[in-house]
């Protein structure tokens, strides 16, 4: 099989993947007050990883990103559950949430909510599930 | 304090996540799973005791007041069913290592198992219709994972049917919730009940009630929606069959019980009379299926269906006696179906076949297994000292009191035929001369025996200790017949 020279694809991918990841992080953080959130952010990140996978091949990606995505699913679930359980410590009902305003160095006065931690769990779970599905099907050469 | 109500859902969920991290270390996972289920059983028993002593525990998640947030309602009915679920779970987790191959265990058996328990407990405990749907999906997703575990050709075929029928009924479930939400404007069960009461269940609400019945009847395998059940239930590993047979259809019955004693109770002439006819047909067709086959696993799987018919009969009769009969039968049936699936799994394992015509003389090698099957058959058929009797007696009493003699006679004949179908396994499989196909050297059965004996003990106790159990069952039935108690405990006006 002749190896095609896909330099254009690879070059544009390294540019686009960064923009995609940046956009997904933006979506993730904007979820509280604007459209976005953990689910769509996670899907967008997974899309960026898949794009790199298509351009560079899964062996190269396994070196760059040596992650077992099934563990990412479990990790995301664990984070989501623990944010719910965290309210036990404060004697509040399960899944209670709170927020506070902080003066951060660059961003200024920022609202930080514990719902963001739950969203982080969703984000990781979505990435993990999407990547597990796609990589399992892609690696199946039987 | 109110957080206690979520723990029966949360503990298996966290256990599932934890074991997903450790899936390579099988001995560790096994012992952890055993420890967690036993601890959970003890905790749930204590919680159950607490609920019996001091009334239901209601958790408003996220500190949102009743109709606005998701409500977890640990009332005595839900806690009893969660307790039974955990009893079955303990037996299954001890049975799993002897019946599964190591490869199957490594492919996330225990995480799926715990997620199934999460879904079932959640479905029993939730007080919100859409949340009920979500927990149905949690348990179904886990069951999809479990049914294909082992990767056989038959499993692939049967799991496809299973997934298709369940996807369809889930779709219908969502559509029906959408209809109901469009009319009453809420998904909180207490508030739905209140609003349906206010408009006296107008015509369209009865239609929605029947649609809900169709959804839950598909899950619970009621005539004419039972045809998907028998085959998918026998193809996976025996321990998975036991979980399915003990838990999944019972969640459907529980959902029917809840919705038709709480929400859609204002037009019983239409809805509940329909149930009586369907119950009779379910019993007849189920037991015909059980008599039609020589496959021992299939006999047990078909026996799920008449049992569901009995429970539906109690809901259809809709008196306090018959509802307590349904409750008694529900708890009894969860335990006995779990143990029967484990027993036939063990028999098929030691005999090397599940075809009844190829067996014979098993009692020479496996007396304990044989007598356990015998007791389980008597329990299932409802012979007096055992637990099946009390439930059936209450149901038949309710039927006679309502002068529905047809269903009473159907019930009695069905019981006889159930006994016949089960005792056939005992007579043909265990009596007689030793069959040639059996391996000459007997297999060690002790590891199989303990989990089954554990379940059978509960079955026998439930029958012998009826005096002790019955008052609480009766008070649960009383509570179910007064939906206002449930509504007031949640909406607290």
Closest partner residue to A93 among B2, B18, B21, by Cβ? Answer: B2
Q: Considering only CA atoms, which of B264, B258, B242 is closest in space to residue B147?
A: B242
Distances (CA, A) of A44 to A18, A77, A131, B107, B208: 11, 19, 11, 28, 39
> Residue A73 and residue B20: Cβ atoms within 8 Å?
yes
ipTM for the complex? Answer: 0.90
Q: Is residue A34 part of a domain?
A: yes
Cα dihedral B155, B159, B162, B168 in deg (nearest 10): -160
Domains of chain A: total: 1
The three-point CA angle B312-B314-B320 to 5° equals 150
> Residue A94 and residue B59: Cβ atoms within 8 Å?
yes
The whole-model pTM stands at 0.94
Burial of B53 (0-12, 13-18, 19+ CB in 10 A): exposed
Three-state DSSP class for residue A49: helix
Structural domain boundaries enclosing B170: 2-491
pLDDT tens for chain B, 493 residues: list them.
688 889 999 999 999 999 998 888 889 999 999 999 999 999 999 999 999 988 889 988 888 887 888 999 999 999 999 999 999 999 999 999 888 888 888 888 999 999 999 999 999 999 999 999 999 999 999 999 999 988 788 889 999 999 999 999 999 999 999 999 999 999 999 999 999 998 888 889 999 999 999 999 999 999 888 888 988 998 899 999 999 999 999 999 999 999 999 999 888 888 888 999 999 999 999 999 999 999 999 999 999 999 999 999 999 999 999 999 999 999 999 999 999 999 999 988 888 888 888 888 888 888 888 899 999 999 998 888 888 888 899 999 999 998 889 999 999 999 999 999 999 988 988 888 776 666 666 677 778 889 999 999 998 888 888 888 888 899 999 999 999 999 998 887 6
User: Is B21 part of the contact surface with chain A (CB cutoff 8 Å)?
Assistant: yes
Q: Indicate the pLDDT class of residue A59, thresholds 50, 70 and 90.
A: confident
Q: Is residue A122 part of a domain?
A: yes
CB B85 within 8 A of CB B247: yes
Q: Is residue A103 part of a domain?
A: yes
> Residue A74 and residue B2: Cβ atoms within 8 Å?
no
Q: Is residue A1 part of a domain?
A: no
- In terms of phi and psi (left: phi > 0; alpha: psi -120 to 50; beta: otherwise), the region of B305 is alpha
Domains of chain B: total: 1
> Residue A97 and residue B62: Cβ atoms within 8 Å?
yes
Cis amide prior to B421 (ω within 30 degrees): no
User: Is A124 part of the contact surface with chain B (CB cutoff 8 Å)?
Assistant: no
Q: Is residue A119 part of a domain?
A: yes
> Residue A77 and residue B21: Cβ atoms within 8 Å?
no
Structural domain boundaries enclosing A40: 7-138
At B359 the pLDDT is: 82
Q: Considering only CA atoms, which of B233, B100, B218, B230 is closest in space to residue B169?
A: B218
User: Is A94 part of the contact surface with chain B (CB cutoff 8 Å)?
Assistant: yes
CB B407 within 8 A of CB B279: yes
Return the residue of A nearest to B13 by Cα: A81
């Amino acid at each position: 099989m002749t190896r095609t020279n896909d330099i254009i694809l690879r070059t544009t991918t390294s540019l686009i993947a960064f923009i995609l990841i940046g956009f997904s992080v933006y979506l993730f953080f904007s979820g509280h007050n604007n459209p976005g959130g953990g689910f769509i952010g996670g899907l967008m990140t997974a899309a960026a990883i898949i794009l790199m996978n298509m351009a560079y091949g899964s062996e190269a990606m396994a070196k760059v990103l040596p992650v077992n995505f099934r563990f990412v699913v479990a990790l995301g679930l664990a984070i989501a559950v623990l944010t719910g359980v965290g309210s036990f410590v404060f004697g509040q009902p399960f899944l209670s949430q709170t927020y506070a305003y902080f003066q951060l160095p660059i961003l200024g006065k920022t609202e930080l909510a514990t719902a963001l931690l739950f969203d982080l769990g969703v984000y990781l779970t979505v990435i993990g599930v999407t990547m597990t599905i796609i990589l399992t099907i892609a690696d199946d050469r039987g | 304090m109110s957080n206690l109500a979520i723990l029966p859902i949360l503990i298996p969920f966290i256990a599932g996540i934890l074991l997903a991290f450790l899936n390579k270390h099988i001995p560790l996972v096994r012992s952890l799973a055993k420890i967690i289920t036993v601890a959970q059983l003890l905790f749930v028993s204590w919680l159950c005791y607490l609920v019996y002593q001091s009334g239901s525990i209601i958790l408003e998640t996220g500190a949102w007041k009743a109709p606005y947030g998701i409500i977890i309602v640990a009332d005595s009915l839900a806690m009893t069913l969660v307790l039974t679920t955990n009893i079955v779970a303990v037996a299954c987790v001890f049975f799993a290592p002897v019946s599964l191959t190591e490869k199957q265990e490594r492919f996330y058996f225990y995480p799926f198992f715990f997620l199934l328990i999460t879904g079932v407990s959640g479905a029993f405990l939730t007080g919100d219709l859409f949340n009920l749907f979500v927990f149905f999906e949690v348990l179904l997703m886990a069951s999809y994972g479990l049914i294909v575990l082992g990767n056989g050709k038959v499993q692939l075929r049967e799991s496809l049917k299973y997934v298709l029928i369940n996807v369809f009924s889930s779709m219908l479930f969502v559509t029906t919730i959408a209809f109901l939400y469009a009319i009453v404007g809420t998904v909180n069960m207490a508030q739905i009940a209140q609003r349906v009461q206010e408009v006296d269940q107008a015509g369209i609400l009865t239609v929605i009630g029947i649609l809900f019945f169709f959804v839950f009847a598909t899950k619970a395998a009621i005539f004419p929606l039972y045809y998907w059940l028998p085959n998918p239930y026998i193809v996976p590993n025996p321990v998975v069959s036991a979980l399915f047979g003990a838990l999944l259809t019972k969640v459907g019955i529980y959902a029917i019980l809840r919705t038709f004693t709480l929400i859609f109770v204002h037009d019983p002439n239409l809805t509940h009379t329909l149930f009586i006819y369907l119950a009779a047909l379910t019993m007849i067709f189920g037991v015909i299926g059980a008599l039609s086959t020589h496959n021992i696993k299939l006999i047990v799987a078909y026996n799920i269906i008449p049992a569901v018919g009995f429970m539906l009969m109690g809901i259809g009769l809709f008196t306090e006696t018959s509802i307590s009969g349904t409750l008694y039968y529900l708890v009894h049936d969860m335990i006995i179906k779990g143990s029967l699936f484990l027993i036939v799994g063990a028999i098929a394992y030691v005999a090397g076949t599940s075809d009844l015509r190829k067996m014979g003389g098993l009692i020479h090698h496996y007396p304990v297994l044989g007598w356990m099957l015998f007791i389980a058959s008597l329990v299932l058929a409802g012979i007096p000292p055992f637990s099946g009797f009390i439930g059936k007696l209450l149901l038949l009493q309710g039927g006679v009191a309502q002068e529905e003699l047809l269903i009473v006679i159907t019930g009695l004949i069905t019981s006889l035929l159930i006994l016949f179908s089960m005792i056939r396994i005992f007579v043909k499989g265990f009596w007689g001369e030793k069959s040639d196909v059996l391996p000459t050297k007997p297999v060690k059965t002790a590891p199989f025996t303990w989990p089954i004996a554990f379940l059978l003990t509960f079955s026998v106790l439930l029958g012998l200790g009826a005096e002790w159990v019955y008052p609480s069952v009766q008070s649960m039935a009383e509570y179910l017949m007064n939906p206002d108690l449930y509504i007031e405990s949640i909406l607290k006006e």
